[in-house]
Chains A and B, each alone.
Chain A
Amino acid sequence: MDLARVKNADKLDLCRKYYLGGFALLPFLWLINSIWFFREAFLKPAYEQQPQIRTYVIRSMIGTTVWLAIIVTWVTVFQTHRVDWGVIADRISFIIPRGVP
């Protein structure tokens, strides 16, 4: 969808949907929201709905960052502690490597 051809009110609506949708444990929606509407929120000349869109985009960005931090932390912790965790680590692994503890 080309945002340039969408009415401002619809943009706000779309941005809000993505923002709210992100709360359903869907961080990718926030990621997309913050990239897609970045221009609308910060670079375009001011228009009526812009402050609201900007709020959503900023919150989406924060959400994305928090998610990213959570995921990175988890991956790091898991990779470094997999061997120590033993049973639990094996249970939550999709792929168990061969030939290493």
Chain B
Amino acid sequence: MKSIIGIGRVFAIDNRLSATIGSSLLITKEYISFISGEGLRISNKTYIEISGKAACIRRLNGTHQVGCTSGIKGDVGVVHYIQNSSDFDWLLQRGPDKPYAVLLHSEDFSPDRVRQLWYSGKVNGIMVIHTTDDTDLTPFPSTFSPDNTCPGDPYGLYHGDSSYSNCKRQEWNPQGNGLFYADFSFPIFILTNKSEISEIINTCYIKFNKPLEDGSPRPHPLCAVELKARMSGAKDSETCIRRTNTPTNLNPDTYCDPLGDKSVITTIKATTQNEDLPDNSIIMAIARLDSFSLFENIYPSADNHVTGIVGLLAAAEALGKYQDDFMKNDTKDIMFAFLNGEAFDYIGSSRVIYDMGRAEFPTKYKDGQTQLHNINLKKLHSIVEVNQLGHRDDGKLWMHTDPLSGFVATQIEEMVEIIKNLSNNLIDRADISLPLPPASTQRFLKKMEKKIPAVVITDHQRAFTNKYYNSRFDLASTIEADPGNVTNPEEVVTEQAQNLTLAASALAKSLYRLATGLDPPQNMEADQSTVSQLLYCFLQSPYCELFRQIVSPDDDSTLKKKAESGPYPFYVSVDTVDNHVTSLTKRLMTKFVGSQVNVSKDNCKQPDNNKVFQYVWMQGALTRDAYNKTSRQNHCMKSTTLSVVAKSPAFLLDDYDWKSGEYSTWTESSWQVGAISIRIFLVPSKQLEESHHHSQSATLSLRWYNAVEGQNTMQGVFLVKSGSYPWYIRRSLILKKGGDLQQDPVAAPTTKHQTSDKKTQCYESVMIEVTGHVTIFKDNITITCRAAKSGNLNYINNIQIYRNNSAGNNPLVTVSYDRGSTGSMINWQEQGLKLRAIAEGDVHNSNPELKFLRLNILANMSRCYDEGSYTCSLHAQTTSGQQYDEEASGDVMVHSVPDRIDKIQINAKDNNYVNPTQTTGQFPVGHLVKMTCSGTVGKPPTQFRWCIKENTDTDFMVLNHLYAIVSHSNVTQVENCNNQRATYLSYTVSNLDTLTVLLCEPETELYCGKNLLNRTFIIKTTQSSINVGNRAALYSPNIRILISIFANLLLFIFYF
């Protein structure tokens, strides 16, 4: 069904394209690719979805929430593209159409900029351009690391130490800007698809929003974007985990999941629990498996830590060929540990240590089974950890040791000497006064009170040489491991691969020497081609020969599919599924240190009573048979390699104190289906802006107002309620009679106080009050002249009202002192007005402030030419007998509302499709219907708009999609202050138009279909038996909440 609709629609759009060549059409060919294959409802026509994106998501720990979230329904902002600082300044200083959503280059995405944008109050979302294959669109910043300057310190060895804590001696990550640990209450996305980005820039921003040359803002319609990344979790891990487990919750939901995965452990000697495993007999070789970045699913991790992983894997392969040398009783064992979750406060190492402490590492003993001997901390002899190895400082790698491990200083010196010599000085020793850099080793030293010799090998002598630590720029290209655009990239040996091979060889030799005490064999070298392939597989494409060899035949297609979306992410992620990187590492270790067993696939599994070895079925290498046919030799491999849980002990302990800082407490907020999206659309006018996509549930209410005395302009704050979050907008309003609200079209003052030059200060005496804005036939026009503070006047001769408009400056009416009757007398100068207005006045009152003249033009008699400037003219005599004149003026604007709408006219050539009354038409799918709707649009003129209601819709929606083309005619003046205008619609009939009602109405109401003045036209297709699309779309997720509330009420009643 979906694809059929898709095809139909694409066809229709092609038609539309050809029909409107040369017109100012918004769509281009690229748009077709965005919408093909989708079931197209109104929303699909209105919005353009952006697919190439990655959101900043929310994570939580024991005390904080970090990352980003949007509002429940997403945040809408007018797109503003910041190319240089003048765009930035324009937004902050001018930018009248807030809220904005800014589109930034990676270089401009700095904490300072983000802060400035946010605190401007004008921005509610940020999009960052990130296309790694185009350095023009994405020039890499010189440094960028969202981690902080001292990564992992609170959970490390030196936390609280007076001389080393908080990187006192050495700030490891000076470029760290800490963005990852900031809590943003607005969405931030990166956009990754080049063609979509250029659409947003060219078709959306430049076409509709870009300020004009002189810096003035563009009029509506404006192109806006809705950024949605709504997170479910909040506050901290304790809260969201508790809520996930709250049984009374009627709407059971997952608010967050603990971060965690598996660590990969391999021992070379397979010592079982029945054998003797002496203390101090295991050398631990550690690499870290994970990193992070600010944006979901973009975790390239090249230097940090693929180089380390590859280095240790290649060393393991080299050592694996000499396994027999380790089988003597007096040699030590080597335990390879690829620890996961280390970027999030050392999840993997904490769990290993925790499990060692309760005798469950690597596995828990079970009766009747032969298993690997339990390993605890006492069994460990020493630790060698490899960290980042890609960016070499001085062309060397550096050994870091702990300055506080005085107890084992001599053993450390021995280790350092061995490694230095066997690497031919490739691995040198860093300043011995420096503490250890962020490393898993810190956790072991902390637990063992620094009583174990440990060496951390990495590429930096002091601060990180990696300028992109834990960021999306830590790519193959930034560590010079990108083979480039060649036909056989897997075989290219990059400089990085050569260097890593040397490092891996040195590492293998050192481990051999440390374990056996013997000189390593001369030809013990890491394999350069393995290193190259590993780098390619991890950083470029998982569908590579090496990975294909180690996966089972069933997974080959999965690999191939995955390769389309790039390399696997190196993020520990939530603990619910195992990461691909982890299982691939496990298989690689099995291949490198395991041995082949000749059994069938069905028998390639552990015996029930012997759990020492793990068995893995692999696809094998490509071979050619005698007939030159290639095939893979599937085979079974066994090794001690196993995966152990890397989930923080914090989530195991019932009474764990979340704020104690002992174990990692990181969780990732969950989000609902559809909670992350970006879509762009047009905002037709300011009035509709806020309600545009909340049109179904928004209610408008006046929260408070502050009326300015003497004016009928109000300053107010509107509360637009949508869902459960309020949205405040400050607006200037005109409060008209009848209570309806309208936005202020002109900010003209309604009262003017003009005084003549002759006047001296004490004679201030005449004031005018006018009804500034009136609607013709609806509001009275009242002009009141008052004499005030006329104490220095002897008497007032008369007060006269003039009107100044296009007909000239004419006197209308006068009140004068009638000596005959000693009262006041009204005289009309404008006789026509006498018939439609009432005048009253008094110049004789003993209270000078009650002297007045009021002209009241009746509403049903008002005329268009009553508009103009009215003047009160006072003629008086002062106590000293002088003549005194004074004037005051005020403006009256006569408005009108739309009062007539003609029948919708269909292009004459389509007459044969339309019924005789011209209210319904039946068209073939793909037909371009042109229709005209005209009538009066009021003064000041508004325009007609088109609304649409398809067969399954319940309400009308603005026909605002990018494929129906709407244009408006100019305004012509007609009788009664009204303006005439027409609107033209070109609409292409689709197969969804089984019963589509198009409605034309003046754009005076917020919502479609609410104006009593309207005309409709029904469109049907000539095609018969059409499925009417997806009914489920009618039921929004809100229904669930309504049902829950209803259930609540029921329960409440039954409760009593």
Contacts and interface: CB of A to CB of B under 8 A. Distances in A.
B231 interface: yes
B671 to A, nearest CB: 9
A90 B242 contact: yes
B1056 A26 contact: yes
Which of A25, A26, A87, A98 neighbours the largest number of chain B CB atoms within 10 Å of its CB?
A98
B249 A93 contact: yes
Chain B interface mostly: loop
B1044 A99 contact: no
Contact of A94 (B232, B235, B1051): B1051
A97 B235 CA distance: 12
Given A91-B248, A101-B235, A96 B243 contact: yes
A97 B72 CA distance: 11
Contacts of A1: none
B532 to A, nearest CB: 46
A86 B724 contact: no
Interface string B1035-1054: 00000010011011001010
A92 interface: yes
A100 B243 CA distance: 12
A98 B254 CA distance: 9
A86 B239 CA distance: 8
Nearest to B255: A98
A38 to B, nearest CB: 22
A95 interface: yes
Which of A26, A92, A97 neighbours the largest number of chain B CB atoms within 10 Å of its CB?
A97
A28 interface: yes
A93 B248 CA distance: 7
Interface in B196-246: 230-235, 239, 242-243, 246
Contacts of B1047: 94
Which of B243, B669, B672 neighbours the largest number of chain A CB atoms within 10 Å of its CB?
B243
A96 B1056 contact: no
Contacts of B1053: 28
B1025 interface: no
A95 B249 contact: yes
A101 B248 contact: no
Nearest to B1047: A94
A91 B253 CA distance: 14
Contacts of A95: 249-251, 1041, 1044-1045, 1048
A56 to B, nearest CB: 19
Nearest to B249: A96
A27 interface: yes
A94 B234 contact: no
Contacts of A92: 248
A94 B249 contact: yes
Interface residues of B, number: 29
A98 to B, nearest CB: 4
Given A26-B1056, A90-B243, A90-B246, A99 B251 contact: no
Contacts of A91: 246, 248
Contact of B248 (A28, A94, A100): A94
Interface string A35-79: 000000000000000000000000000000000000000000000
A86 B658 CA distance: 14
B909 to A, nearest CB: 54
A77 to B, nearest CB: 17
B69 interface: yes
Contacts of A27: 1056
B251 A96 contact: yes
Given A86-B239, A94-B1048, A94-B1051, A99 B72 contact: yes
A99 B248 contact: no
Contacts of B246: 90-91, 93, 96
A90 B246 CA distance: 7
B233 A99 contact: yes
Interface string B941-974: 0000000000000000000000000000000000
A86 B240 CA distance: 11
Nearest to A90: B246
B304 to A, nearest CB: 31
Contacts of B69: 99
Contact of B230 (A26, A87, A99, A101): A99
B72 A101 contact: no
A87 B240 CA distance: 11
Contacts of A90: 239, 242-243, 246, 249
A26 to B, nearest CB: 5
A99 B234 contact: yes
A101 B69 CA distance: 13
A28 to B, nearest CB: 7
Contacts of A28: 1053, 1056
A26 B1053 CA distance: 8
A87 B249 contact: no
Which of A86, A94, A95, A99 neighbours the largest number of chain B CB atoms within 10 Å of its CB?
A99
Contacts of B230: 98-99
Interface in B1008-1056: 1041, 1044-1045, 1047-1048, 1051, 1053, 1056
A12 to B, nearest CB: 25
Nearest to A27: B1056
Interface of B: 69, 72, 230-235, 239, 242-243, 246, 248-251, 253, 255, 669, 672, 724, 1041, 1044-1045, 1047-1048, 1051, 1053, 1056
Given A93-B249, A98-B232, 4 more contacts: A86-B239, A96-B249, A98-B672, A99-B669
21 contacts: A24-B1056, A26-B1056, A27-B1056, A28-B1053, A86-B239, A91-B246, A92-B248, A93-B246, A93-B249, A94-B1044, A94-B1051, A95-B250, A95-B1041, A95-B1048, A96-B255, A98-B231, A98-B234, A99-B69, A99-B233, A101-B234, A101-B235
